[in-house]
Amino acid sequence: MFSASAFAMAACSEKDPVEQKIDSLLSRMTLEEKIGQMNQLTGIGLADDMTAQIRAGKVGSILNELDPGVINELQRVAVEESRLGIPLVFARDVIHGFKTIFPIPLGQAASWNPQVAEDGARIAAIESSSVGIRWTFAPMIDVTRDPRWGRIAESCGEDPYLASVMGAAMVRGFQGNELSDPSSVAACAKHFAAYGATESGKDYNTTWIPELQLREYYLPPFKAAADAGAATFMCSFNDINGVPSSGNAFLNRTVLRDEWGYDGMMVSDWGSIEQMIPHGFCHDLKEAAGKAANAGIDMDMMGYAYISHLADLVKEGTVSEKYIDESVRNVLRLKFRLGLFDNPYVDVTGEDIFYSDESLGKARRAAAESAVLLKNDRKVLPVGASVRSVAVVGPLADSPADQIGTWCFDGEPEHSVTPLAAIRSMYGDKVRVIAEPGLSYSRDKSAEGIRKACEAARNADVVLYFAGEEAVLSGEARCRADISLPGAQTELLKALKNTGKPVVLVVMAGRPLTIGYEAGLADAVLYSFHAGTMAGPGLADVIFGKEVPSGKLPVTMPRMVGQVPIYYAHKNTGRPAADITLIDDIEVGTKQTSLGFTSYHLDAGDSPLYPFGYGKSYTEFSYGPVTLSSDRLARGGSLTASCEITNTGDFDAAEAVQLYVRDHVGSLVRPVKELKGFNKVFIRKGETAKVEFVLSEDDLAYWHSAELSDGDLAFAHSTLVHTAEPGEFSVWIAPDSASGVPAVFSLE
């Protein structure tokens, strides 16, 4: 169904002057030079070995070289001393900032504000391109339903629609208006695909995913990134249904190229081609190189597979030179699009643009906007004028490196402003700040500091307890089977609570943690995913009421880890949860047959600790009924769903309004709710805003069999279609995924 447009795009691109330049270059390249363009190495400065390989045309790209002087010299060797003068492209993982660090991507997603993501990526591009980096390995748009997985921190959470919107915003931010502008960096949509499905939340682990679910859940953010113009893609480490992504022609050719008509460049992950050997998919590096090239991987990141074996494989006929030409065309197209042929060098004469006031200001707002208020009993927050003293406690209160989170190679902790430093400098003249960490790092199990922390609490009006996870506990290969607060942090909270003072628990973490018990103890809970360089001022703005919290969860928070995977867009089952009896309420001797037979856990019930989309404000919003422009949606037509939302509280504030839809009966079972839109609106106190969403047939479409009546055919992928089926739909306009009253309409 996509092939017609793919042909059209290919035909069109043949006429493009860039394609003509590529044709001309390709016709002059030797096989070895072509393969050189497909080779990416990690920087080792100006070592002879590196310059010799560049001179010989054996390197297409270098990652992790950061010295602009070295970058320019290596580029000079490529441009002036290699036979064809093809420039290098320098790459780096600039994930949520280069120097000015924004909240981790999960935190950015919690802002439900695409502008936050776009601004963060733009600043990252401006800062990193100033040293010569023109390609970043971001955004990571792997959706995941597993908070044990360390890389959830790098993701935009559990929902494909939210991840699509945020990922596209990041692509726009990185790539700017023109990719050829020296301040733009090529984005890389990663990891293609389904890396977030890793079994048991353990990194690099296997995945087994029916094609329907792959298309329905894991692929949409990648399609959105491709549509937003992401210049490159990266494959993933995992195998999918037994085939590693690096050797997966279905993903990298059939879906990406043939169906989507993508003409960007596909890079392997670090050594992932070579890793097809331990996967048990290839006997040796040569076989791996052949499988990867045949599967459509254009560039080998630090695997030495292509450079060592591709020439022989072509000569033997295992890999067609046509495939090599296609890959090299993709690499060269990237370099032309980046303007590297015209402007290969980085300008080193410019002023230092790191940590500009404007960037820090945006990072601070992003930190504030991504904090999620989960609880606020007796309106403990914001800390008001009557508060004369605060105790600032906890291992994350003054931990500059931890607050910038995972995947920050270049952020400098000495530039972090911690919550303690921010509270002191912003409010130190108004309130007495008594600092006592209690624990020196998140895993600290010693009880020695607890007594002093309690003493500080007793001397203060309010306790601000900054708990959470160190940065190193999330990120790549940093998975946890137990996602509770580590160390003696819960003990410290209990002791603080026993002082009788109001306790505000601020969690700074790389993932949702199981904090049900702790949330019960605390008077207020503010959840901040590691919020970056300006985490301190951003959180202080929220805590002291300069900013009203407006973040909402981009992921479901489980009560206990055994509920994982737990997500809002689940299926209803044939026996949805009802009459829940929890384990402690079962009387001794109760008969097996007397408790009912519905779908829940005896010890956790059926609800999460906090649902997807949830987040409180200092004000109150009252949602009116959902009004539909019609109760019927015609094929090809549209329907407007609207809702009046009134700010009935005491603060002007922003609210992330969410649109959910349910398809009641499908030829395949449909989720109980799916996010189809959101809009963050600012409403002054006492005022009402009308929020409207337009729904079309496309919003109701899903992947299923062409044969509506036969669910079995869903397993024959050649018959899959993405269409909407006739029937009844519910539509919610709601503050989160667990509330609201729907309106109903039908699709003809």
Question: Is the C-alpha dihedral spanning 73, 78, 79, 80 positive or negative?
Answer: positive
Question: Among 146, 269, 541, 699, which one carries the catalytic annotation?
Answer: 269
Q: Tell me whether residue 406 or residue 705 sits nearer to ligand BGC (CB atom).
A: 406
Sign of CA dihedral 391, 394, 399, 402: negative
Q: How far is the CB of 378 from ligand BGC (least distance, A)?
A: 44
Least separation in angstroms between residue 25's CB and ligand BGC is 27
Looking at beta carbons only, is 270 or 623 nearer to ligand BGC?
A: 270
In the bound complex, what is the minimum distance in angstroms from residue 478's beta carbon to ligand BGC? 12
Q: Does residue number 610 form part of the binding site for ligand BGC (CB under 6 A)?
A: no
Compute the distance between CA of residue 251 and CA of residue 138 in angstroms, rounded to an integer: 19
**Nearest residue by C-beta to ligand BGC?**
137
CB 133 within 8 A of CB 356: no
Distance CA 130, CA 68 (A): 8
Q: For residue 346, how many C-alpha atoms fall within 13 Å in the half-sphere facing its CB?
A: 29
- In 3D space, the residue among 465, 471, 470, 402 whose CA is nearest the CA of residue 438 turns out to be 465
Does 476 participate in binding ligand BGC (rule CB under 6 A)?
Answer: yes
Q: How far apart are CA 511 and CA 179, in angstroms?
A: 33
**Which position has the token pair 């400065």?**
45
| Residues 645/708, Cβ–Cβ less than 8 Å | no
Dihedral of the alpha carbons of 282, 285, 287, 291, in degrees to the nearest 10? 80
Q: How far is the CB of 237 from ligand BGC (least distance, A)?
A: 6
- Cβ atoms of residues 109 and 444 within 8 Å: no
- CA distances 448 to 439, 444, 455, 456, 505, Å, are 8, 10, 13, 14, 20
For tokens 């300069």, name the residue. 546
Nearer to ligand BGC, 475 or 649 (CB): 475
Distance (Å, rounded) from C-alpha 57 to C-alpha 44? Answer: 17
Among the listed residues 211, 269, 300, 547, the single contact to ligand BGC using CB under 6 A? 269
Please report how close the Cβ of residue 137 comes to ligand BGC at its closest, in angstroms: 3
Q: Would you say 157 or 740 has its CB closer to ligand BGC? A: 157
Residue 269 appears among annotated catalytic residues: yes
Min CB(136)–ligand BGC separation in Å: 9
Which CB sits closer to ligand BGC, 189 or 548?
189
Q: Which residues face 267 on adjacent strands?
A: 234, 299
Q: How big is the site for ligand BGC, counted in residues (CB under 6 A)?
A: 6
Compare residues 95 and 289 and give the one whose CB is closer to ligand BGC: 95
Q: In angstroms, what is the minimal distance from the CB of 458 to ligand BGC?
A: 47
Nearer to ligand BGC, 244 or 395 (CB): 244
Nearer to ligand BGC, 91 or 485 (CB): 91
Q: Quote the least distance from Cβ 619 to ligand BGC, whole Å.
A: 39
Taking CB under 6 A as the criterion, the residue among 33, 93, 369, 469 binding ligand BGC is 93
> Is 190 one of the binding residues for ligand BGC (CB under 6 A)?
yes
| 270 binding ligand BGC? (CB under 6 A) | yes
In the region spanning residues 137 to 176, those forming contacts with ligand BGC, defined by CB under 6 A, are 137
Residues 601-607: contacts with CB within 8 Å, 24+ apart?
601/562, 601/563, 603/560, 603/562, 604/558, 604/559, 604/560, 604/562, 604/563, 605/559, 605/577, 605/580, 606/577, 606/580, 607/559, 607/738
Q: Which helix (DSSP H) or strand (DSSP E) does residue 704 occupy?
A: strand 702-705
- CA dihedral 120→122→125→127, nearest 10 degrees, is -70
Contacts with ligand BGC by CB under 6 A lie at 93, 137, 190, 269-270, 476
Catalytic residue ranges: 269
